[in-house]
Structure 1
Amino acid sequence: MLTLRIRFPAGRYHATPLGYHVNEGLIEWPPSPWRLLRALLACGYCTLAWRQPPAVAVSLLRRLAAEPPEFLLPKGALGHSRHYMPTARFDKGVEARTLVFDSFVDVGEGALLIRWPFELPEDELHLLTQLCEHLGYLGRSESWVEAELLGKEHPLCHEDWRGESGHCAPSDPGDLPAEHEIVQLLAPMKPGDFDAWLEAARDHALAQLPLPEGKRPSAALLKKREKALADLPGSFELALQAETEQWRKAGWNRPPGSQQLRYSRPYGRLAISPIRRVRHEEVAPVEAVLLSLRTPNGRRGGLPGIARTLPQAELLHRAVIAQRARGQRVRCPELIGKGEDGQPLSGHRHLHVLPLDLDADGRLEHILLYAPMGFGPEAQDAIDALKRTWMKGGAGELSVARAGRGALADLRRLGPPWSEAIARLLGAVEGAHKWRSATPFVPPRYLKRSGRNTLERQVLAELESRGLPVAGIEVLPWDRVAQGWRHFVRRRGGRAAQPPMDCGFALELDFEEPISGPLCLGYGAHFGLGRFDSC
C-alpha cells in the first residue's frame, strides 16, 4: 500500500482547523487530507514550474482523493507561543500590534505515517516521489517537514495498523473504538461524487436564470448566468486551488468540492505537556551578559542617546529586579549589592549596568551587565525573562534581547563593528596602563582643595576600594568631545542618593601596573558613569 512518512525537523506542527480563529488555540491533528493535497499541488507550482497541473498530476490527485487515508500518529504534546503581530496601523508614531496565539503540536523526533489502500502507476508514483522530495512545509510556514515515500518492501506498508496505539482512521460514531475520540477533518469529495455534484450545482444555478423561449436572451441575463457559473469550480483540481477569500465571497461555508470526514483519534496522542522546571544546580555562574536594544519600528535613530546612560541603566536595573521579585522580597546579592543580612557588599563585586555605544553613532544600542562575583541561576533567570525596557520620550518602549553571556574575555570574539569598542572597554589581553574617560567622572564626595577629598584623593580612594593599583591622574581639557558631556544626566532618579556636586570631569589615568576593564569609578559607577576606555 502507498505509505508516506513525514518528519518535522523543528519538532513542531502548526495548523488551525477550518472555521476556527488562530487565537482559539485549536490544532488540526492529524493534517487533513484536503490540506495535504493542496500542499502537493502548491509544491508542483513552486518547484516543478507548472503553469497548470499536467494530466498525470490531475490523475494522481483524483486517485488520492478517491480513498481517505489512514494515519499512524506519533506521540505529541500541545503547546503555544504568544506574539504581538504588527497591524500596519500607527498610533502616535508607534505601530500598533495585536496579540496572537501560535498553537502547535510538539512531536519531538516522531514521524507521521499516512497510508492509502492502493498502489500507484509508475508515472504517478514518480511524480509523487518528486513532490514529496520538494515539500518544505505543511500547515503554516514554520511547520517544516521532510516527506518521503516508503518502498513497497518496507514493513510499514503491509502491517495492520489497527492494533497500534496511534492509529487514526475514518470512523462512524457508532463504531468508535475504545479510548478514541471523534475529530472532524476536511477532505476532498471522491472524484465521481464531485463530478455529479458539480453538474447538479451548475444545473441548479442556471435553473434560477432560465433562457427565454422563442427570443434572444438579453446581455444582462447572459452576464448573470456567466457570473452564477463563475462561483463554481471548473474542475476537481481548480476546486483544490480555491483561495479562502474567493469561496467565502461567493457565500460558501467551506471550500467547494470538500467534505467533513469523521476520524477516530486515540486519546493520549495529543497531551498537555508538563512545565519543565529549570534545575538551578546545573546552571554555571557567568560573569557578564550582553543585551541588545531595539525600537518597535527598528529605526536606530529612536534609540536613547549616550547622554542618557545613567537613566537607561537605572530603568533596566529596575526591570531586572522586578523580574526577580514577582511581589516578593529580593534575595539576590549579585543584583542588589546587599548580603543576606541586608548590609551593602564591599569591593564593588555586584552588578554593573553599563549602557554602550559600540558602533559609535551616539546611540545606546547595547547594555553590558557585569558582576565580578558572577551571576547565579536566579539572577540569570531574571535577566533571561527580561524582554523590554523603556526610555523617556523617543521610542518609549524598547525591546531587549540577549546577545551573549559568559566570561568577559568572550566579548573579544565579537566581530566588527563592535570589536574596536570592546577592545577599548576591556583593554588589551595583557592589560593596559593608560585609561581615558568615556563617560563623565562624578565625584562621590564634595571636592575640597586639600585633604582626602581632593579630586585626586577621591579617585585614588575609588581605585583602592576596587583593589586596583595606584595611578597617575590628569584632568583633561574640555575638548569638542568632552564638551558634549555637559548634557549627560548625572543625577539618579527617585529616592536614590544624589551626587554632592552636580559636575563631571574628563580624566586620564596612568597605572603603574597594567589592568583590565571594565573600569568604572565614582558616583553612579554601577550605572555607567565614570567609565574609562583604554588608550
Structure 2
Amino acid sequence: MMATLDKGSGHVVGIEFCFLAGTYHATPWGRHANEADVEWPPSPWRILRSFIGVYHRYSLSKRYDEDVLHRLIEGLAADRPMYRLPSAVHTHTKHFMPIAGGKTTLVHDAFLRVLPGDPLGVYWLEAHLDAEALALLDEIATFMPYLGRAESWGEGRLVREPPDRWDAMPIDVDGASELLDRAEGEIVDLLAPVTPSEWPRVRGQWPTGGRKSGLAGVSHLLDALRLGTDVIEKERLNMPVGATHLTYVRRKLDLRSDSRRAAPCRMDMPHVQANVARFRLVSKLPTRIICALDVGEVMHTALDSMAARTGLAMPSLTGRDPETRGPLRDNHRHVFILPVDEDLDGHLDHVVVYKREPFDREEVKVFQALRQLKTPAWWPGRERHWQLYLEGMWCVSAGAVPREEAGPNVPDAYVRPSRVFTSITPYLHPWHWKRGGAKFGPADQIREELRRRGFPEPVAVEARSQIRLAGLPYDARKFRKLRYNAHQKIPARTGGLWRIEFAEPVYGPIALGVNCHLGMGLFYAGELDSVKFTDERHASGKS
C-alpha cells in the first residue's frame, strides 16, 4: 500500500523525467563507486545542481538573468520534495579498467533498470515561485539531457498536478510510518541544500579560507551549489558547503530480475517516438569544421559496422540497398549524419543523427552501443579517435510550421525552428545547370530540393561568399567536399554558401545537395555573420 496524497496545496511544482535507455546511474555522496550503491531517489542536492548545469550549458542566461535562477533555486531549496518512483531493479556490471603501469583494476558499475515509459516524479508541494522562475524551470526541465551520470539520459517536463501516490517522502510526513509498519519501505539518506533561512547561520560555521580559497567567493546558496568536488576535496571538507542530510522513507527496491523491467527502450510509447539523436563529440585535438564530411563518413562506417553486428538488415542506417548493396533510393528517408558546430567556434562538437520517420527499437540499440569513432584502415593519414556520448533524443517534423503552444523545445542550433537558415558547410548542387535548355542554377536547385522535402516555398535564397566563425572567415573552398572511399562524379566540386529565408518559422535540420547525408549542405538555424556576393548574377544563381 502506497502513501496517499493530500491535494490541498496550490503551489505544487514538479518535474517528471523518463529514462529513455531504461537505466539510472548515480553514486551517493560519501560512497565509493565499488560499493555498488545507487542514490535512489535522486537527492535534492543532485537535482538542483542539474538545474544549474542546464541553465549554463544551454545558454538560458541569454533569456533569464541570474537573479531568476537565484529565485528558482532558493524557492525549491525552501521545501523538501516528494517523489513518485518508477519500478526499478538494482543491478550492476563488472569490468576491468586500465590503470597506470599497464595494470587493470576491477570496477563495479551499479545502476537501476527502470521502465522507459514509467517516469520519475519530483514534486515540491510548497514551492513559492514567481512566473519568471517557473518559466525558467519549464525550459530547464525540457532541456535536461540526463539526470545522474551521463548514461542516465532521458527527457523531462514540468508538471503542476501531483500524482496519486507517494513512493518516497521525508520520514516525518504522514504516510511514511505506514510504509515502514507494513515492511514496504526502507530508510534512506539524501543530501539536500539547507533552506535559505538557515543559510546565514550555516555559512558562518564553514571556514572561508584565504584569498585564493575556492570558498572565498561563496556568498549565497547558489554559489555553494556551483562548487565542484575538486574544491570540496582541496578544502578537506567531508560534505559540500551548504548541504545537509535528510532522512527519507522510500518504497523498497526489487532484488529480483524481471525481463519486462529490463526491457530496452520501447519505441511504441508516444513520448519516445524520437527521430533526432544528438551525440557529444570529444577528441584530444579539436576537429575543425572544414572536416565535417570526414567525421560524417567515419560515423557512417561505425553505424554500418554496428548494424552488421546485430545480424539485421538496417538500410535506414547504412544507406545501402540490402539486395544490390548500392545506394538506397528512398527519397532521403534514411538517416542524415550531421557533424555540427553548436557553439560556432569553428570546431565540431556534436553529431546530430536525423531521420524523417521515428527510429525503431533496433536503431536506438545501435545508438546506445556506439561509444567511439575511429578512422578505418583505408583512411589516409594518421589514425584519429573520437569519443561519443548520447546526450538526448527528440521528435521533430522537418519542414512543419510549429505552433507556439505545441512546438517542442529542441536544444539544438540546427533542429530548432527558425525563419532564416544559413549555410555552415558548402552546398554541392546535385543537378547540372541546364535542364531542358533552360538554366537551372544552384538557387533554383535549392528551391527544388526544399519542395521535394516538404518545406514551404522560401521567400529568398541568397548566395554568400563566406561565413565567419569565432572571427575567422570560411569560404566553400576550404572544406573537404568529396568522400575518401567513393569515386564521385558530381556537377559541382567547388560548392557554395547560401542563406534561405522563409515566411514563417520551420523546423530543421536542413541539409541539401550532394553528400548531404554526411554533413555537406548543412544550414544553421539562424543568422550567421556572413558576406554577400557583390556579383548579382552569382547571387541569383543564374550565371
Shorter-chain TM-score: what band? 0.3 to 0.5
Larger Rg: 1
More helix by share: 1
Query: What's the TM-score, normalizing by structure 1?
Result: 0.45
